[in-house]
Amino acid sequence: MSSLGESAAPTPAGIYDYMLGGRHHTAADREAAEQALAAAPEARAGILANRAFLQRAVRYTAERGVRQYIDLGSGYPTAGPVHEVAAEKVTDPRVVYVDYDPAVVALSRQVITAPAVTAAVYDIRDPERIIASPEVAGLIDWSEPVAVVMVALLHFISDEEDPARIVAAFRDRMAPGSFLIASHVCFGENPEGAQQGAGSWNRATSRVTIRTREEIGSFFIGLALASPGLVPVQQWRADGAAPQGEAMILGGVARWGRDGLVR
């Protein structure tokens, strides 16, 4: 059952919420999600694995002393959000959730009551505006380590919109010890299904651009990828034996610093 008013067009946040088993989605979101699942049945497992990757990545950065987070394209609040996961490792993390959907931000402001946490409506395509925003300026000290989260985000940015420029805008503000946490849909082992699934997502308010491993890896240029590098999200520092499965979503965590892998 949706807690939202019905909408004529599906949204990425609503489709993602439906895939995660949440309740912040509309009939249009459900229909688009089911069409994507019909084309690529592995999509739901990939999205669940992507969420688990985000949580492991936040713990990893928090264990290394990061107390500041900017979660871009944050989507609807769901189990295990960034501020709660970071708080397992550090005291009073400062978190700015950013989404271009006013409904997402309104709900986030309603349900998130933690101190030093806020949500704001901005479009990732204008990174300078986000960086200069009162919400970011009021919580984020760029002279200290910051983790910038771009999980399941950059595939909604077309080549013409220059995703590398967006990443660089944040990277260039980072202090040593900062991190980029990112994941991105790739062609995987079922490129035809991936393209068909993307077609269902393309009915939403943001279109999907599927990229190769090399193209996704280029977003981490200038940063040092933490081991095990850019890998399927279900394999990134998984507990126990790394789960196997189709590499539909690749993820990585990279630190501002020297070249090469970091521990």
Closest by CA position to 251, among listed 67, 94, 60: 60
Q: Across residues 191-220, what is the average pLDDT? A: 70
Cβ distance 114 to 101 under 8 Å?
A: no
Position 22 in a domain: no
**What is the reported pTM?**
0.83
Q: Across residues 146-159, what is the average pLDDT? A: 96
- Of 210 and 196, the structure prediction assigns the larger pLDDT to 210
Beta 249-255 vs 224-225: how paired, if at all? antiparallel
Give the E-state strand segments of the chain in sequence order. Answer: 68-72, 94-99, 117-121, 147-151, 179-185, 224-225, 231-232, 249-255
At residue 195, does pLDDT exceed 90? no
pLDDT band at 242 (very low <50, low <70, confident <90, very high): low
pLDDT band at 250 (very low <50, low <70, confident <90, very high): very high
Cβ distance 91 to 57 under 8 Å?
A: no
At residue 70, does pLDDT exceed 90? yes
CATH assignment of the domain containing 58:
3.40.50.150
Where do we find the tokens 């900062």?
A: 178
Q: What is the pLDDT of residue 197?
A: 47
Position 26 in a domain: no
- Of 177 and 193, the structure prediction assigns the larger pLDDT to 177
Q: Across residues 127-149, what is the average pLDDT? A: 97
Residue numbers of the domain that contains 131: 42-188+208-255
Position 29 in a domain: no
Determine the Cα–Cα distance for residues 114 and 105; give it in Å rounded to an integer.
Answer: 15
Determine the Cα–Cα distance for residues 72 and 147; give it in Å rounded to an integer.
Answer: 11
At residue 192, does pLDDT exceed 90? no
pLDDT band at 125 (very low <50, low <70, confident <90, very high): very high
Cβ distance 45 to 21 under 8 Å?
A: no
Paired strand residues for 118: 96
Position 19 in a domain: no
How much of the chain exceeds pLDDT 90, in percent? 58
Position 201 in a domain: no
Query: 263: helix, coil or strand?
Result: coil
At residue 71, does pLDDT exceed 70? yes
Q: In the chain, how many domains are there?
A: 1
Q: Encoding tokens for residue 115?
A: 């101190």
Helix (H) or strand (E) holding 15: helix 12-19
| DSSP 8-state assignment for residue 157 | S
Position 195 in a domain: no
Q: Encoding tokens for residue 216?
A: 């996704």
Closest by CA position to 69, among listed 153, 178, 226: 178
How much of the chain exceeds pLDDT 70, in percent? 82
- Helix, strand, coil % over all residues of the chain, rounded to 5: 40, 15, 45
- Of 73 and 191, the structure prediction assigns the larger pLDDT to 73
Q: What is the pLDDT of residue 7?
A: 54
Query: 210: helix, coil or strand?
Result: coil
| DSSP 8-state assignment for residue 95 | E
Position 64 in a domain: yes
Q: Across residues 73-101, what is the average pLDDT? A: 93
| Best mean pLDDT range from 99-108, 148-157, 235-244, 250-259 | 148-157
- Of 259 and 76, the structure prediction assigns the larger pLDDT to 76
Closest by CA position to 252, among listed 242, 240, 243, 223: 223
Q: What is the pLDDT of residue 240?
A: 64
